[in-house]
Chain A
C-alpha cells in the first residue's frame, strides 16, 4: 500500500494555450486513478499556481460565453469540490496587486468544502520537496 504525492505546478497563463487547462484536467483525473492501481495504492495530487500562473485563478472568467470552453475558474472549483488541495503563491498575487478577494477561494455554491490556500512560495517549495514527482505546466 502506497500513496504517491504528485505536485502539479502551474506557471503558464490561461487560454492562449491549453497548458494550464491540462494541468487541471490531469490533476482532477487523480480521482479515478485507483482503477489502475493495487488495493490501497493511490495518488495524492497538490495543485500549486505560481508566477503568471496565478492569473488562472481570477474570478468572473467568461470563457464559456466567449470561447465556448470551460473556464479555468470552473476547473479550479471542480478541483476544490473534489477536495484537491489548491495552493496559490502569495508573493505572485501581490506582485499583480491581487488578493484573496480577486481569486477563486472556494466552491461553496457547488458543494465544495475546502478552500484555496494562499501561501508563500517557500511553502510551495516544501510541497515540491515532499512530492514524489513534479509536473510543471
Chain B
C-alpha cells in the first residue's frame, strides 16, 4: 500500500475540484492507501465550521469526518491562507491540521504519488 498526497487549492463552493479530491481520497483509503490532503488558497474553506448543507452548494463535511475516522487520512490547512480569510483554529473542524506551506512539501517528500490541483 502506498501514500498519496493531494494538494487542492480550489474553493469548496464554486468549484468541484475539492469534491474530486475528497472522492479520490475516499477511493484511495478504501483500497488501503494512506492519504494526505493539503488545502491551500480557497481550498481552506473545506474545514470551516458552521457550514450549511444546501443542495445548490457543494458540502463535504460529512465525507471528511468519515475519512478522518479511518485513521488513514490526514487533512491540513495552510495556516497563512486560512488566517488571511479570517479562519482560525477555533473556526476549523476538529481533526484538521494547520501548518505552514513547508508541511505540504514534507508530505510530498514521503509520498509515493502527488496530485497537485492548482487553483482556478
Contacts and interface: CB of A to CB of B under 8 A. Distances in A.
A17 to B, nearest CB: 5
B120 A29 contact: no
Contact of A22 (B40, B103, B109): B40
Interface residues of A, number: 27
B102 interface: yes
A43 B104 CA distance: 11
A77 interface: no
A12 B118 CA distance: 10
B109 A136 contact: no
A122 interface: no
A137 interface: yes
Question: Do most interface residues of chain A lie in helix, strand or loop, or is the interface mixed?
Answer: mixed
B114 A135 contact: yes
Contacts of A19: 9, 41, 118-120
Contacts, number: 72
Contacts of A32: 100, 102
Contact of A30 (B80, B102, B119): B102
A4 interface: yes
A18 B119 contact: yes
Interface residues of B, number: 21
A33 to B, nearest CB: 4
A110 interface: no
B87 interface: no
A41 interface: yes
Interface of A: 2, 4, 6, 12, 17-19, 22-23, 25-26, 29-33, 35-37, 41, 43, 45, 133-137
19 contacts: A2-B109, A4-B108, A4-B109, A12-B118, A12-B119, A19-B119, A19-B120, A22-B40, A26-B40, A26-B101, A29-B101, A29-B105, A30-B105, A33-B105, A35-B102, A41-B109, A133-B108, A135-B7, A137-B118
